[in-house]
């Protein structure tokens, strides 16, 4: 049994009344484990055919599955970006945000990337996703997950909401605020979070959440959708924050959304409110469904100013990209084109609709193609993960159960027949990285920081 904070138990007993016993007993159950198929790379039905795990569908997320594997991250399919490990109730957020291809979306508190990668899959490579994380170390993890899933149309920023709101006024069709919270829905998943919980922390989180929402609303266009979510049960951080926000910004209202078995309504009475619209918010409880818990409110903006978009960016002279094009002619069946940008020696393609990014801390300004070195171009790992076998001229195919793929993921050189030069390495037909073949020796280009170590 997890040792829950006494103040938390007393609080939940008062709120839940007759439900409290079932709620507290749910902490005797094992944590709920899930994964979400990355439909940018593989269809759900195709993943089900090759999945090394036993899967069961998550009803509220068409790409989501339950599993009971201890280490789903230690599999070549994970490294190839075929799936993202995500707690099932958290998948409801992306489903209710409901991004549409071609839209501009902001994920304001995005690390480690579960909801951003869900949004990107729903955009189907069309439109723009800005994924932001205020903490530098977490923003790098976010960027790595965007890379692993082969996402091309995402910009990763490391900024405060206030600085972003000055740049992106009335710009986004949809915004997600998955707000930092007291983390009560994490207790079963990560018992150490129990030690950090306190009544005072709940109050502090509620103040911070309202501040974040106030910045977020500046960036939403008229008729846009703002989704607010937390993984806490505290009404101060949920219904309380939403009620205060709507009083401050009456152009917003709570939309009723599709619900599923186990979804519960918001509880206005817990904040002594008579606003019946708060019941349109969604609560996911661990004793009512198979998940750790979440709160979600879908808000719509009635009116406001339309964004004035200035999108002039000087294009790079293609003569400066000669080495990139030489690489493309030699190794690719189709050379990616777009709005190129160079950061130092690093070459990127910006997503469409990207505005001027000057004066922002940008971790990843789009798809990282590679490095422009002296008289040569070296393709990036991100570029490899964005490609399919048919996109390149030279492929190496490995089986997920083979010793070759394990050796590759460990960074080893391998005896392997293939065409000399750059080759795309694929596991069961899905790209996982680059290698160079020299006289039937596979020279490994799997990134050092990602290599598997020890016994697998």
425 alpha carbon, distance to own chain's centre: 25
In a domain, 60, yes or no: no
In a domain, 439, yes or no: yes
In a domain, 6, yes or no: no
Residue 110 counted as an annotated binding residue:
yes
| Residues labelled as active-site residues | 231
Identify the CATH number of the domain in which residue 398 sits: 2.30.130.60
Indicate the DSSP class of residue 402. Answer: S
Q: What is the pLDDT of residue 313?
A: 58
In a domain, 428, yes or no: yes
Residue 113 counted as an annotated binding residue:
yes
Residue 133 counted as an annotated binding residue:
yes
Strand order in the sheet with 56-57: 56-57, 64-66, 34-37, 83-85
Q: Which residue carries 């490579």 as its tokens?
A: 125
Residue 303 counted as an annotated binding residue:
no
In a domain, 412, yes or no: yes
CB 281, CB 239: distance < 8 Å = yes
CB 366, CB 153: distance < 8 Å = yes
Assign 3-state DSSP to the chain and report helix, strand, coil percentages, each to 5. Answer: 35, 25, 40
Query: 412 is in which domain, residue-wise?
Result: 393-456
Residue burial 51-89, b: 16+ Cβ < 10 Å; e: rest? beeebeebebbebbbbbeeeebeebbbbbbbbbbbbbbb
In a domain, 23, yes or no: no
In a domain, 434, yes or no: yes
Q: How many domains does the chain have?
A: 1
Residue 112 counted as an annotated binding residue:
yes
In a domain, 427, yes or no: yes
pTM to 2 decimals? 0.96
Residue 347 has φ and ψ, to the nearest 5°, of: -105, 130
Closest by CA to 255, choosing from 34, 97, 88, 62, is 97
Residue 70 counted as an annotated binding residue:
no
Return per-residue pLDDT of the chain as tens, 456 residues. Answer: 688 999 999 999 999 999 999 999 999 999 999 999 999 999 999 999 999 999 999 999 999 999 998 889 999 999 999 999 999 999 999 999 999 999 999 999 999 999 999 999 999 999 999 999 999 999 999 999 999 999 999 999 999 999 999 999 999 999 999 999 999 999 988 888 999 999 999 999 999 999 999 999 999 999 999 999 999 999 999 999 999 999 999 999 999 999 999 999 999 999 999 999 999 999 999 999 999 999 999 999 997 677 766 665 567 888 889 999 999 999 999 999 999 999 889 999 999 888 889 999 999 999 999 999 999 999 999 999 999 999 999 999 999 999 999 999 999 999 998 899 999 999 999 999 999 999 999 999 999 999 998 655
């Amino acid at each position: 049994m997890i040792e829950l904070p006494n103040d938390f138990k007393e609080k939940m007993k008062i709120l839940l009344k007759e439900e409290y016993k079932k709620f507290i007993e749910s902490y005797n159950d094992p944590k709920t484990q899930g994964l979400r198929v990355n439909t940018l790379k593989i269809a759900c039905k195709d993943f089900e055919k090759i999945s090394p795990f036993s899967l069961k569908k998550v009803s509220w997320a068409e790409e989501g599955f339950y599993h009971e594997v201890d280490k789903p991250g230690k599999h070549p399919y994970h490294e190839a970006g075929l799936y993202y490990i995500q707690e099932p109730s958290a998948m409801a957020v992306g489903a209710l945000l409901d991004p549409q291809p071609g839209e501009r979306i902001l994920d304001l508190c995005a690390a480690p990337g579960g909801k951003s990668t869900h949004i990107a899959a729903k955009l189907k490579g069309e439109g723009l996703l800005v994924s932001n994380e205020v903490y530098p170390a977490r923003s790098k993890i976010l960027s790595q997950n965007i890379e692993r899933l082969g996402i091309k149309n995402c910009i990763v920023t490391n900024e405060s909401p206030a600085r972003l709101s000055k740049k992106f006024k009335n710009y986004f069709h949809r915004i997600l605020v998955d707000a930092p919270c007291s983390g009560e829905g994490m207790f079963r998943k990560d018992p150490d979070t129990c030690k950090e919980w306190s009544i005072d922390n709940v109050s502090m989180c509620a103040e911070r959440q309202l501040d974040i929402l106030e910045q977020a609303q500046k960036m939403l266009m008229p008729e846009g959708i703002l989704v607010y979510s937390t993984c806490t049960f505290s009404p101060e951080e949920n219904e309380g924050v939403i009620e205060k926000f709507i009083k401050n910004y009456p152009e917003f209202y709570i939309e009723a959304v599709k619900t599923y078995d186990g979804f519960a309504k918001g509880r206005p009475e817990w904040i002594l409110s008579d606003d019946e619209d708060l019941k349109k918010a969604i609560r996911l409880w661990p004793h009512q469904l198979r998940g750790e818990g979440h709160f979600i409110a879908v808000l719509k903006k009635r009116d406001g100013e339309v964004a004035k978009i200035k999108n002039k960016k000087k294009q790079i002279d293609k003569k400066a990209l000669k080495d990139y094009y030489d690489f493309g002619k030699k190794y690719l069946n189709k050379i990616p084109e777009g709005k190129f940008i160079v950061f130092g020696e690093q070459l990127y393609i910006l997503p469409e609709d990207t505005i001027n990014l000057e004066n922002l801390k940008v971790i990843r300004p789009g798809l990282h193609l590679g490095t422009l070195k002296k008289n040569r171009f070296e393709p990036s790992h991100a570029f490899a993960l964005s490609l399919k076998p048919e996109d390149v001229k030279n492929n190496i195919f490995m089986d997920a159960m083979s010793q070759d793929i394990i050796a590759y993921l460990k960074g080893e050189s391998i005896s392997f027949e293939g065409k000399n030069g750059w080759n795309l390495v694929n596991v069961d037909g899905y790209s996982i990285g680059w290698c160079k073949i020299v006289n039937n020796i596979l020279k490994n280009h799997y990134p050092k920081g990602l290599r598997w170590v020890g016994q697998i």
